[in-house]
Amino acid sequence: MDCAAIIPCFNEAAAIGPLVSAVRRHLPCVLVVDDGSTDGTAAAARNAGAEVLLSVANQGKGAALRTGLRRAGELGCTWALLLDGDGQHDTEDIPAFLSVSRVGLADLVIGNRMAAPGEMPRLRRLINRVMSAVLSALSGTQLPDTQCGFRLVRLSGWEALPLRCTGFEVESEILLAHLADGRRVEFIPVRSRYKSEQSKIRPFRDTLRWLAWLWRARGEFARARGSHRIPLAHGCLAKTSSAQMEPPVAASPASPARKVAGVLARIAGFVCMAFLMGTAMDWSARRTRPDLQAGFWWGVVHGALMPATMPTLLTGKDVAIYAPHNTGVTYKLGYTMGVNGCGAIFFGLMFLKPKEEPNSEAG
């Protein structure tokens, strides 16, 4: 058996039957991981011809995927095709994934919904673009859609990857683990269907979980990059169409005109920020009397400090202001908080003036 489809799901009784039937037109082996459903999802999947793996409690998408991947390996499969259980992914895109597997170059193939986002909800589109931009900066490779759950995974050696996430952040973890191990990643365009039912993704909670995972993962990724385990120029091939997107090359030195324009733009930004900050303080004063001019200069200086004290922590890159032997996250965070905190306190004393008390002496 060459490839098995793995569908993690939770309370998808209405969608799972038709989805399994549609997938089986392309892949005979379909593994449905029922993550503690209470609505008859397991029975619907079994009736449609899937092998059902049951979890006694809801453990999360990441745990369900690992269960499915282990079972696919036990069946002797070379590849695993991952799909969401809500029917969002168009099963007519499955042949495109299988054609990539026959070429045999990629280790991970991810669907790219951003090539034609169509009816993707605006909030989901925004979150996806932000997360993809952050992971692109972290990896140094253009990653157009890091959150798509429609993907093809080569099973050889997957258990060696450090996969620990249990929630929806597993999509990013799988991608970053492949890159950190020097494996080849490709993207192909896919279509998605968004129904009116509420998504099981909770934007606020799951975004916080993703940020917590990113904070932990960036250190591991930086260590792997420092040990030269990541040949990024060759380890990732991003494809959004038939043409290949080459990994980004080093930026060329900026021209003098561009440098001047950048400085002017930064100054203009500082001035605007300072004006708005001072105006807001003047408007919202209750027990203190802000001085607009001092507030303006507080904004200018504090804004000027930010680029120097807030380097790209999430991308793992360092700036010259940090000592080479003090590049740990704790040092960076302490330095940033210390400098900005001192600046805020010092310049805050300039504009927080006590209100004048009325003269108690009667004439």
Tell me the pLDDT tens digit for each residue of 276-287.
655 555 555 544
In a domain, residue 360? The reply is no
Same domain, residue pair 96 and 182: yes
Pairing of strands 185-189, 108-112: parallel
- Tokens 């919904």 identify what position? 113
Same domain, residue pair 174 and 241: yes
Same domain, residue pair 50 and 184: yes
Same domain, residue pair 317 and 214: no
Structural domain that includes position 331: 256-354
Same domain, residue pair 50 and 183: yes
- Tokens 């979890």 identify what position? 55
Q: Give residue 28's pLDDT band: very low, low, confident or very high (50, 70, 90).
A: very high
Same domain, residue pair 186 and 302: no
In a domain, residue 361? The reply is no
Instruction: Flag whether pLDDT at 182 surpasses 70.
Output: yes
Same domain, residue pair 27 and 174: yes
Final residue belonging to a domain, choices 245, 272, 289: 245
Same domain, residue pair 199 and 322: no
The total number of residues written for the chain in this structure: 363
Final residue belonging to a domain, choices 177, 212, 245: 245
Final residue belonging to a domain, choices 203, 222, 245: 245
* Portion of the chain with pLDDT greater than 90, in percent: 34
In a domain, residue 29? The reply is yes
In a domain, residue 180? The reply is yes
- Tokens 């994934």 identify what position? 97
Of 102-106, 205-209, 300-304, the poorest mean pLDDT is in 300-304
Q: Is 192 helix (H, G, I), strand (E, B) or coil?
A: strand
Please report which residue ranges of 156-247 form alpha helices under DSSP H.
170-180, 203-226, 232-235
Instruction: Flag whether pLDDT at 82 surpasses 90.
Output: yes
In a domain, residue 206? The reply is yes
Same domain, residue pair 263 and 295: yes
- Tokens 């039912």 identify what position? 197
Instruction: Flag whether pLDDT at 64 surpasses 60.
Output: yes
On whether the CB atoms of residues 32 and 51 are closer than 8 A, the answer is: yes
> What's residue 63's pLDDT?
92
Q: What is the CA radius of gyration of the chain?
A: 26
What distances in angstroms separate CA 338 from CA 155, 317, 318, one per listed residue? 47, 20, 18
Instruction: Flag whether pLDDT at 244 surpasses 80.
Output: no
Total domain count, the chain:
2
- Tokens 């209100």 identify what position? 355
Same domain, residue pair 206 and 305: no
What distances in angstroms separate CA 169 from CA 11, 103, 209, one per listed residue? 20, 29, 7
- Tokens 């006694």 identify what position? 56
Residue 231: which CATH number? 3.90.550.10
Same domain, residue pair 233 and 298: no
Q: Is 260 left (phi over 0), alpha (psi -120 to 50) or beta?
A: alpha
Instruction: Flag whether pLDDT at 197 surpasses 50.
Output: yes
Same domain, residue pair 194 and 337: no
On whether the CB atoms of residues 189 and 240 are closer than 8 A, the answer is: yes
